[in-house]
């Protein structure tokens, strides 16, 4: 779950129950993302690849910053993207224990604008983004960019966590879809192992038969070398519903 804070400019409006908006009063205001459990963001290992995507940054020509803190909570460094890019990735530097996404807003605005969707992925030092904390709200803009740094296609493991109905994930670049016609309760996890070609509910029961006609065979759903844009959707669901994509770079 996200929290946001500022030093008073930009001004935040909303409590997380509806649309949360931000209103920059002067140029150069920072909107900071924090975890509910830590003022320093999310834990990270040195060398891990971290990627942050923000609809606000793309819409406002803003700059994404990944702010690094050490284990004691002391500021370490900033990694800074290009203005207007909706996503930015960087490896955790030496000494980093926490990462905090920041959006630097370039201009004052006459009225508030919605923060919109955002996503954070934290990988392992061995490579491969593997921990999306938020893939967006089902049925709206659950969009994420991932990068297979290898030179061969890789088979991810995908986990859908409810509550939602008929979850799906699409690789926009290939057009390949995986969709399953079943409801997931809040405690349910549907795991799709694309290498093994299995679909398992709560680690026990096969749900391969719930695949829809829109879907490709599981073992053909891969992430090719380079970047891929993924869309997470559901026929209906709760903002707490998520999709997790775990993979490692593959090589010939």
What pLDDT digit, counting tens, does each position of 87-101 carry? 888 888 999 989 999
Domain ranges of the chain: 2-123, 135-246
How far apart are alpha carbons 168 and 184 in whole angstroms?
12
* Statement: residue 206 has pLDDT above 80: yes
What is the CATH T-level fold of the domain 2-123, as seen in this structure?
A: Jelly Rolls (2.60.120)
Intra-chain end-to-end CA distance of the chain, in Å: 38
* Statement: residue 130 has pLDDT above 60: no
What is the CATH T-level fold of the domain 135-246, as seen in this structure?
A: Jelly Rolls (2.60.120)
What pLDDT digit, counting tens, does each position of 161-178 carry? 888 899 999 998 899 999
What pLDDT digit, counting tens, does each position of 20-67 carry? 788 888 899 899 988 766 778 888 888 877 888 888 898 999 999 999
Could you count the other beta carbons within 10 Å of the beta carbon of residue 28? 13
Lowest mean pLDDT across 136-140, 184-188, 229-233, 239-243 = 136-140
Do 2-123 and 135-246 show the same overall fold? yes
**pLDDT for res 119:** 76
Burial label for 14, CB within 10 Å (0-12, 13-18, 19+), is middle
How far apart are alpha carbons 24 and 7 in whole angstroms?
11
């Amino acid at each position: 779950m996200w929290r946001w804070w500022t030093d008073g400019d930009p001004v935040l409006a909303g409590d997380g129950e509806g649309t949360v908006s931000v209103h920059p009063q002067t140029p150069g205001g920072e909107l900071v993302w924090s975890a509910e459990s830590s003022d320093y963001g999310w834990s990270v290992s040195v060398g891990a690849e971290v990627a942050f995507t923000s609809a606000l940054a793309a819409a406002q020509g803003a700059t994404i910053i990944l702010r690094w803190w050490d284990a004691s909570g002391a500021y370490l460094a900033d990694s800074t993207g290009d203005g207007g890019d909706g996503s930015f990735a960087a490896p955790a530097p030496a000494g980093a224990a926490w990462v905090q996404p920041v959006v630097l807003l370039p201009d004052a605005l006459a009225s508030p604008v919605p923060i919109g969707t955002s996503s954070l992925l934290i990988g392992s030092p061995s490579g491969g983004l593997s921990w999306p904390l938020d893939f967006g709200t089902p049925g709206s803009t659950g969009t994420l960019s991932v990068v297979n740094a290898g030179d061969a296609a890789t088979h991810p493991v995908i986990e859908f966590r409810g509550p939602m109905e008929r979850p799906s994930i699409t690789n926009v670049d290939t057009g390949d879809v995986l969709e399953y016609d079943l409801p997931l309760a809040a405690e349910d996890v549907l795991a799709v192992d694309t290498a093994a070609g299995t679909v398992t509910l709560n680690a026990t029961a096969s749900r391969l038969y719930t695949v829809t006609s829109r879907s490709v065979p599981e073992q053909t759903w891969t992430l090719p070398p380079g970047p891929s844009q993924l869309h997470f959707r559901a026929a209906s669901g709760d903002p707490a519903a998520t999709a997790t994509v775990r993979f490692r770079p593959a090589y010939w």
